Structures are given as C-alpha cells and as structure tokens.
Chains A and B, each alone.
Chain A
Amino acid sequence: MPADATTTLALPKSLTGISGFDDITLGGLPTGRPTLVCGSAGCGKTLFATTFLVNGAIHFDEPGVFISFEERAGDLAKNVASLGFDLDNLIAERKLAIDHVHVERAEIEENGEYDLEGLFIRIGFAVDQIGARRVVLDTIETLFSGFTDHGILRAELRRLFGWLKDRGLTTIITGERGEGQLTRQGLEEYVSDCVILLDNRVTEQITTRRLRVVKYRGSAHGTNEYPFLIDHDGITVLPVTSSGRDIRVSSDIVSTGVPDLDRMLRKGGFYRGSSILLSGVAGTGKTTFATHFAHATCSRGERCLYFALEESSGEIIRNAQSVGLDLRQHIDAGLLRFEAARPNLYGLEMHLARMHRDLDRFKPEVVVLDPLSAYRGPDNEVHATLLRMLDLLKARGITGVFTSLTRDEEKRDTSENGMASLMDAWIRLMDVDANGERTRTLYVIKSRGMSHSNQVREYRITDEGIVLNDAYIGPDGVLTGTARLTQEAREKAAALRRQESIERRRREIVRKRETIERQIAELQAAIKAEEDESAMLIAEDNAHEDVLLRDNAARAARRGAAE
C-alpha cells in the first residue's frame, strides 16, 4: 500500500540509542508522541526510560525530563550510576531534569472538584527550564493510589497525554502490567501511538527478558519477542534477524594455525567469514585446535574473540602454553579477548544478546565458541539460537570456529547434525582405539567451495603444537599409532631382506662370471698348446720333406753316374 509506505517514511522517529531497539522499530520511538512501556515489576521499565533520556541528552542533543512517581531523584541517580550514567552531571549541564512527584495517600484529602494542573505545571516548568525534547513519566499509575476519584484522574490523564503531544514531546510513560490487560489501569487506552511490552520470564531457573512492540501506529516494526539484556552496559535488545541474508562473501583465506591441516585444504586454509565446526569426543584436542586458530588470527594482527563456556580463560591460556602457544602476548596487545560465561548462567537468548553486543564492541575478525555443545535446551530452540548466531557472524564477515563435543561416536548427536548443514566446513576429530592404545585422527568432512584431502590423518599434540603424521594406508586400512610404527618397521625389515637377496644374487653372478672366464682361459690355453704342438709337427714334417727331397736328388745323381 503506497499510502502506508509514505506514512512510514513521513513518521519522524527519535532514536533511543538502545542497541537493537532502534533496529526493530526502524528508527526508535515516534517523535513528539507518547509511548507506553509496560511490564511487570523488575522488568526494566525504569531503566529503559532512563536510557532513552540519557542517550537523548548525551548523543542526540535532546534534553530530557524525568518525572518520577516512585523513586526519589537521588535513588534514581544511584540506581543508574552502575551503568555509567552520571545523572548529577547531566543535571548540572542542564541536559536533564528530575522531578520526584511524591504521592502520599495518607496526607491527601479530597474536598470538591480539582484537576491535575499542578502536575501539568511541574512538567511544563521542568521542560521549559532546560528546553527538553523528551519526557519520561515513571510510573504515572501511582496517581491512582493517591486519588479516589478515578473519573477525574482518567480525564486528566487523557488531557495530559494530549497536552504532551501538542507540545511535541517524545514521551515514555511506564505502566505496571495488569491482569488481562497491558497495564493495571488500562493506560493503553490513552496512549495509542506506540506500546512496548517488557517481559521477564523464568524457565528452568533461567531468566530471560523479552521485549515486544505491541503496537506502533503508522510504522512498520518487528513483531517478534526480542530478548534483551540488562547488565553493566545498560540495555541491549537483540534483533532476531537484523540483517537478513545480505552477507559479505570473501574469498580470502585464513590459516587454521596448524600448517599440516592447512595443507589438507586446497586453498591452504578456510575462507574468511566461513563457519568451521570442530567436532569430536572428549580429549581429542578440540580446544587445542581452537587455540591454534586463535593464535594464528592474532599473529596476523587480527582480533579474536574467544567465548569460553566451559573453561576459564586462565586455564585455556595455560593449556595453550603447554603446546607452545603464547596467548598472553595477544591479550596484552589487545588482539585477543576471552568472554567466559557458564552456559547455564543465562538463557540461550541472553548468550546471543551478549555475543551480539560483544561483537559490535570488540569487532573481531575471528570468533571462537568453545564448545557449542555447552548450550542446552530444547533442540529446536538451540538450533534457532545457533542459526541466529551464525547469521550474526556472517553478516559481519566474521570467521567462526565452533567446537562441539560428540557424545557417542556411533550415534551422532542430533544437535551436531542440525549444526552441520549450517556450517561451511567441518573437521571431525576421532579417537581410534586399537592395539591397547588410543590415537587421535582427523579428517575433513567438508569444506565448502574448495577441494580437500579425503585422507584420515593421525595427529599428535606436541610441545610445538599439533603435528599431523603422514597417513599410513596398509592392506588392513589406515594404521595409526604403534600399529603404524610396527608396520613401518616390518616394511623396513622386508626391504632390508630384499636388498640382501639382491646383493647375494649379484655376488653369485660375479662368481659365475669368474668361473666361466676361468674356464674360457683354460680352454684358450689348451688350444694354444694344441696349436703349438701342431706347428711343431708341421715344422718337423717340413724338415723331413726337405731331407727326403735332398736324399732323392742325391740318389738320382748317384743313379745317373752309374748308367
């Protein structure tokens, strides 16, 4: 509808400066109009309102007036001081005014007709004094306990909200959650522009705060329940999907920190911005791989945020030291930060909210989450949370390294299976139990967008880090550990034997050749002897012939004489 679209564009909004909230409302609260923030006791109404005012005063040059019906100004300042809000200073700078409207039922007696002009004037006076653009009324329902004539009160409240609107003041009115309606006194009837509901639910001893925009006249808004977080950094609202699927895709490669593992991947590492799952049973060195990755990241001069869910940062640093990685230097350089929190300390969404905030603050290039399997809860909830977590990382182009504990080698964890399809790369770490020893092997199950080794490789965790051994693939499959060593020795012996037999054969041939050559020489000698003898005989024959010839001649001569 084009009409709707124009209103959306035309409706001016005032930023609250509350992280995430301005995203889901597409720009904050309606400018110049009252907004009702309701919720049960302790759900953060006052804090929400105070943050709205303080941010307005500090960041948006919009001074604000806080009309408190419950807390005294001093208490209020004290309560929010822990969040780093210095109300006294803001008051001194005339950016903030606090008026505590004290309603003491016991003091008040009614006699005749009255109106709430006193309240109007107090608000007006405070607004005029500092030129306020924002007003908070917290919690105006307190008036209902002070006055018996609710008819007058309601009429006056209606007039008050109209008056605030006429003056163009962006107002937050807080209200206590009532039975069957949003507020106890039905304030939602009077404030029709924007209604926000805060909620504080406890399931399985874990509290999750949630926020919902019930209504926002003239504007599109996120309609889901969004978890939010209150801690020393104030309020953070976590948009479920703030970015959609608009993801920066990078073809940069980041090293895993294990050179041998890098070589198993065609590109020499994983793509920047991809999500990498390291799964394996207990004791396969998932955390060690993760710390290698972190170390490599920081060594490149990039920032790494390490969410340690089961170990403390101290333990991880010490353990990394034992494999030759000095993480301390990176922490000192401000490149590495640990965020340690027990998974059962908050609900899943709180973790997500915290992560969201930490990401925006630290702006890391790599995030390590160790281990993912620490998150417990209904499968679909865990899955949804992780999906959002991945979206969070992807939208920022952050490389995510997740470790996951596999409980049973045979039966794959369902959560792991659910995870796997979301991950870009998956390395499985395994324990091979054979010949009375346990060896560690790994293989790359998948690595989207690049080819990778299909080998199962044995790895060792050494003083100098993780080292992969060359795979030995024998007739009985992959051999690891001592079996691999024995097999290697066996092979060596066989080779030696082969070598020896070759030598032997070679020697035999030499011997044979020598024998034959000797025989040849003998035969040659025999021939020589025969030749010599026959030459001698021939010579003798020749001599004999000569003698015969000479004798014949002599005989002839003698015969001739006799005739």
Chain B
Amino acid sequence: MNVAAVADPTSYRLRLIVAGSTQRSRKAIETLRNVCNTRLDGQVDLEVIDIYQLPEMAREYQVIAAPTLLKLLPLPVRRIIGDLSNSEKLLIMLDLAPATPP
C-alpha cells in the first residue's frame, strides 16, 4: 500500500451528513474527527452538515440514510452510511488502510 499517495490531506473533501444530535450522529462525528486528526493531520476539507438545520442539503447531496459520510474527493465518490462504528472498515473505505504488517 502506497501510504505516501494518501498522505496529502488537502486531496480529501469529506461531508458528514447527520440528522440532529442523536447518539448515532455524535458517534459518527467523533469517529470521523478522530480518523481525520490521526491519519489526515487535521488538514482535511471536512464539513458536518445537520440536515435538520439545512434540509435542502439532503437533496443537494442525495442523502437517504443518516448518518452518511460522503467522500467527494479523491475520486471515486463514495458514500458510507452508518455510525462508522467500525473504524478499521472506515479506513479501508477512505483508502487509508494501514499498511499490512509484513
């Protein structure tokens, strides 16, 4: 795994869409923030959107489920739904998988 290629945090654009401050939302936000801080140096373009506050965003981003994490960049676009409880799986999904131990 080429870790250097994904180390550039500015190449990431993430949107986390949540519906209100439910336990699920908080858990997802926490997990994602954690990943961003540890793996992407906190420099990532991340926005957390509460569709209760901004309902038009649900349409804008084609949201069906909540929470939904949108990886707009790098391509391909991915949407990860759920409270991100499996952080290892999240890393794989974000192409941030740790280098497999030799």
By the criterion CB–CB under 8 Å, are B82 and A111 in contact? yes
- CB neighbours (8 Å) of B52 from chain A are 121
**B19 beta carbon closer than 8 Å to chain A:** yes
- CB neighbours (8 Å) of A143 from chain B are 64
Closest Cβ of chain B to A423, distance in Å, is 61
The segment from A112-120, A366-374, A469-477 that touches chain B is A112-120
- CB neighbours (8 Å) of B64 from chain A are 101, 103, 116, 118-119, 122, 143, 146
By the criterion CB–CB under 8 Å, are B65 and A109 in contact? no
By the criterion CB–CB under 8 Å, are B79 and A109 in contact? yes
**B97 beta carbon closer than 8 Å to chain A:** no
Known A-B contacts A111-B90, A115-B66, A118-B66; the reply to A124 vs B55 at CB < 8 A is yes
By the criterion CB–CB under 8 Å, are B82 and A122 in contact? no
Bound Cα distance from A374 to B77, whole angstroms: 61
By the criterion CB–CB under 8 Å, are B77 and A118 in contact? no
State the interface size on chain B (CB cutoff 8 A): 33
A128 closest partner in B (C-beta): B55
Known: A107-B76, A113-B24, A122-B64. 10 other contacts (CB 8 A): A101-B62, A102-B62, A103-B64, A107-B78, A110-B80, A111-B81, A113-B85, A115-B65, A116-B64, A118-B68
**B93 beta carbon closer than 8 Å to chain A:** yes
Binding site for A on B (CB under 8 A): 17, 19-20, 24, 27-28, 51-52, 55-56, 58-59, 62-68, 76-86, 89-90, 93
A149 closest partner in B (C-beta): B82
By the criterion CB–CB under 8 Å, are B19 and A117 in contact? yes
B68 closest partner in A (C-beta): A118
- CB neighbours (8 Å) of B28 from chain A are 112
Interface residues of A in 98-147 (CB under 8 A from B): 99, 101-103, 107-119, 121-122, 124-126, 143, 146-147
Which 8 A-B pairs rank lowest in CB-CB distance, beginning with the nearest? A112-B82, A118-B63, A112-B85, A117-B19, A125-B55, A112-B83, A117-B66, A111-B82
B88 closest partner in A (C-beta): A111
A119 closest partner in B (C-beta): B64
Q: Which of B56, B66, B93 has the largest count of A CB atoms less than 10 A from its CB? A: B66
A118 closest partner in B (C-beta): B63
Closest Cβ of chain B to A109, distance in Å, is 5
Closest Cβ of chain A to B62, distance in Å, is 5
By the criterion CB–CB under 8 Å, are B80 and A109 in contact? yes
By the criterion CB–CB under 8 Å, are A114 and B66 in contact? yes
Q: Which of A113, A119, A125, A126 has the largest count of B CB atoms less than 10 A from its CB? A: A113
- CB neighbours (8 Å) of B93 from chain A are 109, 111
User: Can you give 20 contacting A-B residue pairs, CB < 8 Å?
Assistant: A102-B62, A103-B64, A107-B78, A109-B79, A111-B83, A112-B24, A112-B27, A112-B28, A113-B24, A114-B66, A114-B82, A115-B19, A115-B65, A117-B65, A118-B63, A118-B65, A119-B63, A122-B64, A125-B55, A147-B65
Q: Which of B62, B68, B84 has the largest count of A CB atoms less than 10 A from its CB? A: B62
Known A-B contacts A101-B62, A113-B24, A115-B65; the reply to A122 vs B55 at CB < 8 A is yes
Cβ-defined partner of A112 (8 Å) among B76, B77, B79, B86: B86
- CB neighbours (8 Å) of B62 from chain A are 101-102
By the criterion CB–CB under 8 Å, are B78 and A122 in contact? no
- CB neighbours (8 Å) of A115 from chain B are 19, 24, 65-66
By the criterion CB–CB under 8 Å, are A113 and B83 in contact? yes
Closest Cβ of chain A to B88, distance in Å, is 10
- CB neighbours (8 Å) of A116 from chain B are 64-66
- CB neighbours (8 Å) of A102 from chain B are 62
Closest Cβ of chain B to A164, distance in Å, is 16
- CB neighbours (8 Å) of A124 from chain B are 55
- CB neighbours (8 Å) of A107 from chain B are 76-79
- CB neighbours (8 Å) of A126 from chain B are 59
A156 closest partner in B (C-beta): B65
Bound Cα distance from A82 to B38, whole angstroms: 57
B31 closest partner in A (C-beta): A112
- CB neighbours (8 Å) of B17 from chain A are 118
Closest Cβ of chain A to B53, distance in Å, is 10
A126 closest partner in B (C-beta): B59
- CB neighbours (8 Å) of B63 from chain A are 118-119, 121-122
Cβ-defined partner of A108 (8 Å) among B19, B56, B76, B81: B81
By the criterion CB–CB under 8 Å, are A118 and B19 in contact? yes
Bound Cα distance from A101 to B89, whole angstroms: 26
Known A-B contacts A118-B19, A121-B55, A125-B56; the reply to A111 vs B65 at CB < 8 A is no
- CB neighbours (8 Å) of B85 from chain A are 111-113
A125 closest partner in B (C-beta): B55
- CB neighbours (8 Å) of A112 from chain B are 24, 27-28, 82-86
Bound Cα distance from A122 to B85, whole angstroms: 25
Q: Which of A110, A121, A124, A146 has the largest count of B CB atoms less than 10 A from its CB? A: A121
Cβ-defined partner of A109 (8 Å) among B20, B56, B78: B78
Bound Cα distance from A116 to B59, whole angstroms: 13
- CB neighbours (8 Å) of A146 from chain B are 64
A103 closest partner in B (C-beta): B64
By the criterion CB–CB under 8 Å, are A99 and B82 in contact? no
- CB neighbours (8 Å) of B65 from chain A are 114-119, 147
Q: Which of A110, A114, A122 has the largest count of B CB atoms less than 10 A from its CB? A: A114
- CB neighbours (8 Å) of B79 from chain A are 107-109
Known A-B contacts A107-B78, A107-B79, A109-B80; the reply to A118 vs B86 at CB < 8 A is no
- CB neighbours (8 Å) of B27 from chain A are 112
Bound Cα distance from A103 to B79, whole angstroms: 11
B83 closest partner in A (C-beta): A112
Closest Cβ of chain B to A94, distance in Å, is 15
